[in-house]
Amino acid sequence: MSKEIPYKIYLSENELPESWYNVRADMKNKPAPLLNPATHKPMTAEELGHVFCDELVKQELNDTDAYIPIPEEIREFYKMYRPAPLVRAYCLEKKLGTPAKIYYKFEGNNTSGSHKLNSAIAQAYYAKKQGLKGVTTETGAGQWGTALSMACSYFDLDCHVYMVKVSYEQKPFRREVMRTYGAQITPSPSDTTEVGRKILAEFPGTGGSLGCAISEAVEAATKREGYRYVLGSVLNQVLLHQTVIGLETMTAMDKYGIKPDVIIGCAGGGSNLGGLISPFMGRKLRGEADYQFIAVEPASCPSLTRGSFVYDFCDTGHVCPLAKMYTLGSEFMPSANHAGGLRYHGMSSILSQLYDDKLIEARSVEQTAVFKAAQDFARVEGILPAPESSHAIKVAIDEALKCKETGEEKTILFGLTGTGYFDMYAYKAYNDGTMSDYIPTDAEIAKALEKAPKV
């Protein structure tokens, strides 16, 4: 007899994972190493240590240990807002009239409004343990900057955030949340760094991009004694920390005898998707179970579906190591009408490799369809989703409607990464009917990719 499934499955605090799961240990084709941009040789731990915290460098380079214990201090912090609920979307199923069973893992139950806090607290902890004074980072939409500000104030570290200038201007309240947690915020590009001044000279009046803000934050960290740079997505270490999402989900599902057929997540740099799918991918790689995995990205920034799998720069100023990933080119910018986040030009090397090995699929969706899905979801499930998360909602709904046609009772799981209260300009454009779609041409993508380094 299967147990009756509650609307929300809450695990107890003692069911919180004790280790993160490192999917690289089970991958046959390991993700390609980061390369030194000058020599094109793999980055050594020592080189990476100038930019990143020592323990995080070890995690970045660790391709072999399947489980990495979560320090007790981090587990204590996790207990403030975890375990996160796994929700059975009964109301959405009913509204769609689908025989599919839909579940989502909700990560929006903390002040950062997203899953980003899972890695922010880990990175702040290792910085503190190393005796550093502070960290620098970039933020786009603002969730990562907020999460890191919260984590740094908890461990009494300085936090300096370079915020993409358009977001800085459009989201003054995000900025104030970060300042409330004690962070210093600089709109990027700025004249406070060499690379910022260079970008400003070349593109006066630019609203900035994640790639610019990363370059500035790296420069600020490496030029200041006692500081390191931290990043909210893309890197192996970030995917590792985010596996708490997938591990909790797996525990909850196993407890109730639920087996997902399809697992869906939005993909910006790949951290929430990687975190959600890793433990399930581990089972697939070890031949214990099979699942369909779907990465969802904006049609206006389609790195997996239309990018190339090559070594590329991670930032605009070319101060970071090179990463082999699906990329649109480091100078690619989504068009100005793009509102939904997920605007990074590249993708996690782990997910890129899994995608190249055909272990995951990818789909791109247009933003008006994404906001329609967000609205449909909000009206029945009560949560106002982040635009990023709504990409996953859109494809989950598509899959559930396919089941309605075929009569299949598939179990669909998706990651609901956060809430959208700071994205009301985007919702306003949708509600006003002024939101439009833009799909870059092949020529635009090819042009941005021309600048990729020849490795």
Ligand X SMILES: *Cc1c(COP(=O)(O)O)cnc(C)c1O
Q: Which residues bind ligand X (CB under 6 A)?
A: 114, 116, 143-144, 233, 266-273, 342, 386, 388-389, 417-418
Of residues 385, 425, 450, 433, the one with CA closest to residue 167:
425
What the block records as the tokens of 135 is 């960290």
Closest approach, Cβ 28 to ligand X, in A, equals: 24
Closest approach, Cβ 266 to ligand X, in A, equals: 5
With tokens 């489980």, the residue in question is: 67
What the block records as the tokens of 94 is 């009913």
Q: Which residues of 291-300 are buried (b: 16+ CB within 10 A; e: fewer)?
A: bebbbbbbbb
Give how far Cα 160 sits from Cα of 176, 199, 218, 433, Å. Answer: 14, 20, 11, 37
What the block records as the tokens of 344 is 């990074």
Residue closer to ligand X (CB basis): 110 or 193: 110
Q: Which residue number places its CB atom closest to ligand X?
A: 418
Residue closer to ligand X (CB basis): 53 or 370: 370
For 290, the 3-state DSSP assignment is: coil
What the block records as the tokens of 398 is 């598509």
For 378, the 3-state DSSP assignment is: helix
CB atoms near residue 402 (< 10 Å): 15
Residue closer to ligand X (CB basis): 269 or 302: 269
Of residues 398, 91, 367, the one with CA closest to residue 262:
398
Cα 440 off chain centre by: 22
Collect all residues with Cβ–Cβ distance below 8 Å to 414 and sequence separation of at least 6: 102, 103, 104, 105, 263, 264, 265, 392, 393, 395, 396
Residue closer to ligand X (CB basis): 143 or 300: 143
Closest approach, Cβ 416 to ligand X, in A, equals: 9
Per DSSP, the residues of 433-447 read T--------HHHHHH
For 74, the 3-state DSSP assignment is: helix
Closest approach, Cβ 418 to ligand X, in A, equals: 3
Closest approach, Cβ 342 to ligand X, in A, equals: 6
Closest approach, Cβ 236 to ligand X, in A, equals: 12
Residue closer to ligand X (CB basis): 193 or 271: 271
First to last CA, the chain: 57
What the block records as the tokens of 42 is 């793999």
Closest approach, Cβ 382 to ligand X, in A, equals: 17
> Which amino acid appears at position 60 of this protein?
E
Collect all residues with Cβ–Cβ distance below 8 Å to 41 and sequence separation of at least 6: 35
Interhelix angle 117-129/143-154, nearest 10 degrees = 40
Residue closer to ligand X (CB basis): 108 or 282: 108
Residue closer to ligand X (CB basis): 233 or 353: 233
Closest approach, Cβ 139 to ligand X, in A, equals: 9
Q: Work out whether strand 184-188 and strand 158-164 pair parallel, antiparallel, or are unpaired.
A: parallel
Residue closer to ligand X (CB basis): 209 or 389: 389
Residue closer to ligand X (CB basis): 132 or 281: 281
With tokens 């206006």, the residue in question is: 300
Closest approach, Cβ 205 to ligand X, in A, equals: 26
CB atoms near residue 1 (< 10 Å): 4
Closest approach, Cβ 62 to ligand X, in A, equals: 20
Collect all residues with Cβ–Cβ distance below 8 Å to 301 and sequence separation of at least 6: 328, 332, 334, 338, 342, 343, 344, 345
Closest approach, Cβ 47 to ligand X, in A, equals: 24
Residue closer to ligand X (CB basis): 326 or 410: 326
Residue closer to ligand X (CB basis): 27 or 239: 239
